Amino acid sequence: MNAATDFQHFRAQHIFDVTGKSFVVTGAASGLGEAMAQVLSSNHAHVLLLDKDPSSLKQVHDRLAAAGGQVESQTVDVTNTAELKQHIANFIAKRQGLGGLFANAGVSGGPGFGTELGAVTGGIEAQNPAAWETLFRINLHGVIASMQSAVGIMKDQGRGSLVLTASIAGVKAEPFVSYAYATVKSSVVQLMRQASLELAPFGVRVNAIAPGFIQTNIADRRLHDSATAARLGERVPMGRLGRPDELHGVTLLLASDASSYMTGTLIPVDGGILAL
Ligand X SMILES: NC(=O)c1ccc[n+]([C@@H]2O[C@H](COP(=O)([O-])OP(=O)(O)OC[C@H]3O[C@@H](n4cnc5c(N)ncnc54)[C@H](O)[C@@H]3O)[C@@H](O)[C@H]2O)c1
Instruction: Give dist(CA 54, CA 2) in Å, integer.
Output: 51
List 211, 222, 255, 263, residue binding ligand X (CB under 6 A) = 211
List 15, 65, 89, 107, residue binding ligand X (CB under 6 A) = 107
CB of 270 to ligand X, least distance (A): 8
User: How many chain residues are in contact with ligand X, going by CB under 6 A?
Assistant: 28
E strands in the chain: 22-26, 46-51, 70-75, 100-103, 160-165, 204-211, 266-269
Q: Give Cβ neighbours of residue 126 (< 8 Å, ≥ 6 apart).
A: none
Instruction: Give dist(CA 225, CA 155) in Å, integer.
Output: 44
List 81, 165, 228, 251, residue binding ligand X (CB under 6 A) = 165
Interactions with ligand X, residue window 32-71 (CB under 6 A): 32-33, 51-53, 56
List 18, 21, 30, 253, residue binding ligand X (CB under 6 A) = 30
Q: Is 142 in the site for ligand X (CB under 6 A)?
A: yes
List 16, 22, 23, 27, residue binding ligand X (CB under 6 A) = 27
List 182, 195, 218, 250, residue binding ligand X (CB under 6 A) = 218
Alpha carbon distances (Å) from 43 to 22, 102, 256: 11, 16, 11
Instruction: Give dist(CA 151, CA 145) in Å, integer.
Output: 10
Annotate each residue in 222-261 with x if it binds ligand X (CB under 6 A) or - if it does not, as one string: ----------------------------------------
Annotate each residue in 66-105 with x if it binds ligand X (CB under 6 A) or - if it does not, as one string: -----------xxx------------------------xx
Q: Which C-beta is closer to ligand X: that of 180 or that of 199?
A: 180
| Alpha helix positions (H), 123-247 | 129-135, 142-157, 179-199, 226-233
E strands in 77-158: 100-103
Q: Is 271 in the site for ligand X (CB under 6 A)?
A: no
CB of 103 to ligand X, least distance (A): 8
- The residues with which 48 forms a beta bridge, in sequence order, are 24, 72
Q: Which segment (29-37, 111-119, 199-207, 225-233) binds ligand X by CB under 6 A?
A: 29-37
- The residues with which 164 forms a beta bridge, in sequence order, are 103, 208
Q: Which segment (149-157, 194-202, 214-222, 230-238) binds ligand X by CB under 6 A?
A: 214-222
Sheet containing 100-103: order of strands = 70-75, 46-51, 22-26, 100-103, 160-165, 204-211, 266-269
CA dihedral 20, 21, 26, 32 (to 10 degrees): -80
Residue numbers at the binding site for ligand X (CB under 6 A): 26-27, 29-33, 51-53, 56, 77-79, 104-107, 138, 142, 165, 167, 211, 213-214, 216-218
